[in-house]
Chain A
């Protein structure tokens, strides 16, 4: 990372610590903001958060790796998370999974070479009445069909 990037990151984290306070309770909201802005929580970010909240970096690492929505590694601009739990499964999530893999040319757990899309599975997202469903970052898409998935991807590609 460039020095200027690290400085920017530190400034941003300082701003967040100001907003949420420097208590331990601020850790998860801070991590959520970093995750949303950068798409992942890098080692440097974890160390800076630890320093500014005055806790051990291992504590930050422990929390970062516990929650499914925190990524320690870089994800793509659009992280697609397909629900794999029962009701979406019954509604043929496998067909949607195959469509996503075919259209993006990657498997689940992978990231496209232009770093625009990554594919993951996620546990129940609470759209069981409108499955299959997926999240793109924090946005939810339901009642998916292969055709609809392609339309969503087309739209994301030009966004």
Chain B
């Protein structure tokens, strides 16, 4: 199933032959292009891709790796499923271009175990590319070698965190590492490694083909280009849409046919809950960032039940390595159960919110740092309604 509205960046007409064009450029020119495009990571964290690549390129090493993070586990996100099905080759091209610019000759696609049914198609695309000299030895006569291997995950949400993903590739439990050192210095097997989201990689060949000026003309001042969003929940037309950064949430709701909206969860379970009165806020790194998940709730929904679903998710998916996340999420879930039983005082609820704020600072990785977001935002906007109902 393709992108449901009019594509902006991911329009086939923009694709051209980004790979061929890139291989005719010098690695430094590519790094400069990516840097100047102000492309930021599409997985949610929004780290500037150019900065990451330049750092990896600058680290001296005889081996380097490129990893495509296809461990799309955030609840409500499925845009990578569409990219990997519809634009598979674009994703691989992005990996090859990354490898060429940083000096890596091998790449992994870390595909979530839940998507293992897509593997056959993805392997076939690799094989087709090898047969047409777009992958493997001396790609398109450029003298550059690069190959790609698909590795499957096994159902652990935390492996979407880049250092946990690398641990998993190495055959270990998916427990995030201390950072620094960052993967660009010491990643897979200790070698410099670039880990990028599927969408980030797929965007690169298009930027190369269409140019920086074209790309930076889309979006807002600090968020260039477009974002693929996965819309689900109480809407008429769920699916994947492409929007320029700066689009308001209200505009998105209009496109997807959402009525009677009570709240919108932007960024999945680890994202924030936007109430009806704030729908004029926009999707961008400077306002409401998202890895792509938009879940819509109508007025019939009980916000406490939704929050409980999120917190059950996190208590299960926390890797258990650091205390704020392992115990914190459990405490927040216990608090929700207390509310359900009508036994939670406002005093205690305040303490839980401050526990959430501590988790945001003290957790080791993005999972624990972002898991209290939905608790805090839902309790802030809907606390009165919830306490009145229970």
Contact = CB atoms under 8 A, between A and B. Distances in A.
B154 A86 contact: no
Contacts of A39: none
Interface of B: 72-78, 80-81, 112-117, 151-157, 168-174, 189, 230-234, 238-240, 265, 269, 293, 295, 297, 301, 306, 309-310, 312-313, 316-317, 319
Contact of B170 (A24, A89, A90): A24
Interface stretch (A2-10, A11-19, A104-112, A117-125): A117-125
Nearest to B316: A123
Contacts, number: 124
B43 to A, nearest CB: 14
Given A25-B171, A26-B171, A86-B309, A126 B77 contact: yes
Interface string A23-49: 111111101100100000000000000
A87 B265 CA distance: 11
Contact of B156 (A24, A27, A68, A130): A68
A20 B77 CA distance: 31
B171 A122 contact: no
Which of A66, A87, A130, A140 gathers the greatest number of chain B CB atoms within 10 Å?
A: A87
Interface of A: 23-29, 31-32, 35, 62-63, 66-70, 84-87, 89-90, 122-131, 135, 138-140
A26 B172 CA distance: 10
A87 B194 CA distance: 32
A135 B114 CA distance: 8
Which of B114, B152, B169, B170 gathers the greatest number of chain A CB atoms within 10 Å?
A: B114
Nearest to A66: B173
A29 B149 CA distance: 12
Given A63-B172, A63-B173, A67-B174, A138 B117 contact: yes
8 contacts: A28-B171, A66-B319, A85-B309, A86-B233, A86-B310, A123-B157, A128-B230, A131-B232
Contacts of A28: 151-152, 154, 168, 171
B114 A129 contact: no
A1 to B, nearest CB: 24
Q: What DSSP secondary structure best describes chain B's contact surface?
A: mixed
A66 B173 CA distance: 6
Contacts of A62: 173
A146 B172 CA distance: 40
Contacts of A68: 154-156
B171 A128 contact: no
A128 B154 contact: no
Given A66-B173, A127-B78, A128-B238, A86 B295 contact: yes
Nearest to A90: B233
A124 B72 CA distance: 9
A123 B73 CA distance: 8
B113 to A, nearest CB: 5
Contacts of A69: 113, 154-155
B172 A85 contact: no
Contact of A126 (B78, B295, B313): B78
A57 B168 CA distance: 17
A129 B313 contact: no
Given A69-B154, A89-B309, A129 B230 contact: yes
Contacts of B319: 66
Given A68-B156, A87-B233, A129-B232, 4 more contacts: A87-B76, A124-B114, A125-B114, A128-B78
A135 B76 CA distance: 17
Which of B113, B295, B309 gathers the greatest number of chain A CB atoms within 10 Å?
A: B113
A90 B301 contact: yes
A126 B21 CA distance: 34
Contacts of B77: 124, 126, 128
Which of A23, A27, A128 gathers the greatest number of chain B CB atoms within 10 Å?
A: A128
Contacts of B316: 123
B171 A124 contact: no
Contacts of A84: 309, 312
B26 to A, nearest CB: 32
A8 B271 CA distance: 48
A35 to B, nearest CB: 8
A127 B79 CA distance: 10
B154 to A, nearest CB: 4
A87 B75 contact: yes
